[in-house]
Structure 1
Amino acid sequence: MYPPVGLLVSDFDETITLCDTLSTLIAKCPRMSDDCKHDCPPPWSYFVELYFKELKEHIKHWGESHPEKTLEDFYKLLKSLEKVEERSMKRVEDFKCLIGVHPEELWEQGKIIKKRPGAVDVIKRYLENNPCSFFVLSTNWSRDMLLGCLQEIDGINKKIIISNDLKFEEDSSTGGLTRKVLTAIDKLEIFKQFTVPQETISVYVGDSETDLPLDADIGIIMGNNVSLTRSCNKYGIEIIEGLKSVSPKNSISNRKLFRVKDWIEIGESGLFD
């Protein structure tokens, strides 16, 4: 018998969705389309390749000057990645890649995003008994797109979506971005501000290293992210397959995470019953 879950927080990309959705966002930006005729930015591949090049170089240089022997050392590295994320976002802003998009277009684009099996049904079922206790915590760039993706779920609104976002003037994007969630440590600081009702527990569902520091009572990882698995092995975090041995003491502070293949598995475990 599980203790009642009083707070459910989930990552979005590759946790609720089947794949990363940034390309879905870019697809709605006029200046990134084939129809762009004048003063067009470079193709999106330019930004992606440069981001990963800078990320790789940053991690290499960081490792040369900072010892990485403990989980706390690894968290410092994750925090330092803010510089890489900021440069990437600034580059996109400078080229005005995201200018001229309307919120309703992003909402419609979100509706076509493919979700992991069971995601909608499990979150719906949880919210029926626990209204106002579910949040999406994401490094994504569009709250409107996330809202469109989750529009089938009653009770979902922008208040529960915590992420970066496009800036708007008169219902059209300016090309700027708000910064709220750049790194894993940003997620941790935001998570600490959530309230967990007495005699209930918190659950966090994620899929990557960006979700590793989240110190919920129960941490669930979705899928088989190789980089996350490698980090868990390196820092002595046990990955338990399935949810059969969950207890309130199975938090990351106790070096345990639970791996599932999809939301159906979470639903069938009885965790939210």
Structure 2
Amino acid sequence: MQSLQLNVNASSSALPLILIDFDQTITTQDTISPLGKFGVSYTHNPKPWSYFVDSYLEEYRQHRDHLPDLPKGDFKAFVKQLDSYQPIEKASQVRVSQHKVFEGLTRHTLTQQASTLRADYLQPGVIHTLQAYKDQVRIVSLNWSKDWIQGFLQELDVPKHHIFSNDLEFDAASGKCTGNILPAIVTAGDKQRAIDTFRQHYKTIYIGDSLGDIEALVEADVGIIIGNDPSLINALNDFGHSIEQNISQPSTLYCVNDWDQINHLLRRHQ
């Protein structure tokens, strides 16, 4: 896993780090699919993007259908089961790498393409909210490209060492992508191991949207769920975690509808 750069500037060293999932938290929908489709189109790949999606989903279903039943109320076993999808996620990345979906792309091309999607994909209010906390923000994501993420967040000027995700490999001489994906954050477990390192040094606020964020949301000093993913909400309820929807009330775990509400919570917890 990539080395964790934990530094914030001196003026913000006493403030909590704001750890944020990317896809469907900062964005309204998943961006790996448009990233993959762009790669396939750019490289004129003989395999359609649907081939990679269908292969992943088939392996995912097979794994899911063979998972054992868990003891009721065993949160650690539940989290471990989420982490058991690691071979499926890695196989998907290997498949994309082997078929050279991103070969020849430059970093600039990736950021520029992502930038063109900002208006359609960014959550309303997210950039405005995070502008005041740029030094505290860390992105922790299963996305495949840091340049892609930077393209969406160009107004925040998030440095690469503040993005903890997988990344594409580039040839140093040509500056072009080799086509390989470099794995770093493959599962929810990988994400949590990165977050645990942060938590050794700083108070943390974690913002996420889905079941893969459940451990991070629970373990953070303050967890903020955006949206109403039934699988996440039901799992939290099953494990006895109280979710506060009134942002004016004190809590360590909130569920909100939008980034305006997140803005309110961040101001309170500084």
Please indicate the TM-score interval, normalised by the length of the shorter structure. Answer: 0.7 to 0.9
Q: What is the Cα deviation at residue 69 of structure 1?
A: 4.4
What residue is the counterpart of 1:254 in the other structure? none
Q: Is the 8 A contact 1:209 1:228 kept in 2?
A: yes
Q: For this pair of structures, how many residues does the alignment match?
A: 249
What do the CA deviations read for 1:57-83 (whole angstroms, capped 9, x no partner)?
Answer: 21221226x656411111111111101
More helix by share: 2
CA contact (8 A) 1:196 1:202 kept: no
Structure 1: tracts of 5 or more residues without a match: 251-256
Aligned equivalent of 2:149? 146
Q: TM-score, normalised by structure 2?
A: 0.85
2:60 aligned with 1:55, yes or no? yes
> Is the contact between residue 11 and residue 205 of structure 1 (CA under 8 Å) also seen in structure 2?
yes
Residue identity matched to 1:149: F
SS at match of 2:179: strand
Is 2:46 aligned against 1:46?
no
> Secondary structure of 1:19's match?
coil
Q: CA RMSD in A?
A: 2.1
Aligned-partner SS, 2:67: helix
* Counterpart Cα distance in 2 of 1:7 and 1:246: 19
Distance in structure 2 (CA, Å) of the matches to 1:162 and 1:71? 25
Tell whether the 8 Å contact from 1:218 to 1:246 is kept in structure 2 after alignment.
no
Q: How much identity, in percent, do the aligned residues show?
A: 35
Task: Please report the TM-score for the alignment, with normalisation by the length of structure 1.
Answer: 0.84
Aligned-partner SS, 1:203? strand
Aligned AA (2:47): P
Pairing partner for 1:236 from 224, 233, 240: 240
How far the C-alpha of 1:23 sits from its partner, in A, is 2.1
Aligned to 1:258: 254
Partner residue of 2:41 out of 33, 38, 61: 33
Q: For residues 121-164 of structure 1, give each alpha carbon's deviation from its aligned partner in whole angstroms, at most 9, with x where no partner exists.
A: 1111123xxx3x2200000001001011111115x211111100
How far apart are the structure 1 equivalents of 2:61 and 2:247?
A: 34
Which residue, out of 255, 263, 268, partners 1:267?
263
List gaps (5 residues or longer) in structure 2.
Answer: 1-13
**Residue 271 of structure 1, CA deviation:** 2.5
